[in-house]
Structure 1
């Protein structure tokens, strides 16, 4: 267990290194108003903290920087949420008061605001699209031979598919089909849409529309996407502004990871509710060994959920990010739940 003096020194080193990105020395610590012990005592304590694995010594300075173990201890035992300015709180809350109808647009805007407020990269994983339920079905003719089938879900998600219409498929046929599909499909999840189309809707449609079979076979592919939520980015290149990522190889690996959506799904989806923090090697990915990831989940109604991930260097401003993420996740949950009612 660390002594109170060691706890104070560790906290000062983490806080100062987060701000300056420069190693912290004993003289710098001794100048703090609340530090009452001498530089010599501080140096001894820093040496002990280094021996215990909480600090590391750089090659270019006599100062110390936090180790991954040091950050983990800081996050678990010393972290205090930051008090945000009234303007920043207003900026977040004002977004939820705007007349944004579609959930996807609200999530996209949230990603942008988070990246602006934190200066880090934001990734939002939207709710599992396959759990969305059909709210409205439309077929919009483009010509005598083609049309666009559109499905709008209860969360504002839109799926569409270009259809080839059979010869002599009349506007009245389209109208009959749309009416039947809306009668049979409203409230059905995209996950169950294939089965409903094949088992229930097709039989009814054949009774009323002579050439419905060909059109239905095209419609069956309308929700054939992966059973995963959409990914929204904010400040995708913000990491390039961090001194830790002036190494082009580190940047390349991180940018390549950003393009692999399946890996992002598993990396950044929280295991449970609440704020979670993974530091460096805890991310179990080479591209993320110099990064920290802070995640939180948000709800859409009673069943669906998405997640927010803030990616920054291990020298992340944990206090600020945790506070912003907590406000944003609760705000998103409230806003999306209201839109889902």
Structure 2
């Protein structure tokens, strides 16, 4: 059980270390106007906090830095979310006011705003295609043999996929195919589309389209799902500018994680609902031991769509990031819910 003085000193030390990235000594804390304890009293309490595992001494100075246990206690019991300025709030909200033609554009903007206002790396898991349903489909012929399939989902997500048309297919046949697909596949989950082509579409195509077998091949190729969960980044280089990442081996390990979609999904696999913070080795992934990760989710109406995350050093500005990620996830949810209702 920590005393009130120890709680205050731990909070002040973590806050100072977040700002300076330099070990904090008892003398520097005693010089603060809001601290009225002697350097000796502070030194004794810091020694006790170190003995209890909340602080660590570095070999570089007599000052102390928070341990992972100290950061965890700070996040769970001492953290007060930062209050943003009116200018910051206005700039952030303005970024979400314009109309976005595609959900991916909105997600890209969200990641960019989050990385710019935290100075860390923003990671976003895009809407999960497996949870989406087909709202509308278009086939546009660009040449005799090439065209594009436009897929619009119930969440507002739009994908354009290049497809190969059978030679000499008529414009009226293309129109028939579009009508058949939108009639038979409307609001079908994307992961079921290929199976529904065989059970719902094949017989109708065979009756109405001469070269239906090649059309079926076109459709199966165009409606395949290769990556059901997209990952968006912004500010990858931000974290590399932190003092903790002057070690090239740490940089390489972190970049290796960023290059693997499977590892990033594993990293961001948090319990559903709410805001979650993992510190250092709590992430249980090689290359992330010196990082903290804060995540929350975003939705459209009642539909969970994806995850918003910020990754930074363990010496992360937790009060600011918690405020930013919560605000931006709510603005993203509001924008997506509005688009879905329109």
For this structure pair, what is the TM-score category when the shorter chain's length is used for normalisation? over 0.9
Question: What are the within-5 Å matches in structure 2 for residues 60-75 of structure 1?
Answer: 60-75=60-75
Q: Distance in 2 between matches of 1:269 and 1:300?
A: 20
1:23 offset after TM fit, Å? 0.5
| Alignment match, 1:284 | 284
| Alignment match, 1:169 | 169
Deviations 1:211-260 (A, max 9, x none): 12211122113233246321111101111110000100100110111010
| Alignment match, 1:250 | 250
Question: What are the within-5 Å matches in structure 2 for residues 67-146 of structure 1?
Answer: 67-146=67-146
TM-score, with length taken from structure 2? 0.96
1:302 offset after TM fit, Å? 1.8
| Alignment match, 1:211 | 211
| Alignment match, 2:323 | 323
The DSSP-based 3-state class of the residue aligned with 2:65 is strand
RMSD between aligned residues: 1.4
Question: What are the within-5 Å matches in structure 2 for residues 9-20 of structure 1?
Answer: 9-20=9-20
Deviations 1:37-66 (A, max 9, x none): 110111111111111000000101011000
TM-score, with length taken from structure 1? 0.96
Q: Distance in 2 between matches of 1:167 and 1:122?
A: 46
The DSSP-based 3-state class of the residue aligned with 1:108 is helix
Deviations 1:64-98 (A, max 9, x none): 00000000000001001110111111122112211
Are residues 1:272 and 2:272 paired?
yes
User: Are the counterparts in 2 of residues 25 and 64 from structure 1 also a CA contact under 8 Å?
Assistant: yes
User: Are the counterparts in 2 of residues 134 and 187 from structure 1 also a CA contact under 8 Å?
Assistant: yes
User: Are the counterparts in 1 of residues 102 and 158 from structure 2 also a CA contact under 8 Å?
Assistant: no
Which sections of structure 2, spanning at least 5 residues, go unmatched? none
Aligned length: 341
Which sections of structure 1, spanning at least 5 residues, go unmatched? none
The DSSP-based 3-state class of the residue aligned with 2:309 is strand
Deviations 1:249-300 (A, max 9, x none): 1001101110101111121133121111000000001211000000011112
1:136 offset after TM fit, Å? 2.0
User: Are the counterparts in 1 of residues 21 and 315 from structure 2 also a CA contact under 8 Å?
Assistant: yes
Q: Distance in 1 between matches of 2:331 and 2:164?
A: 43
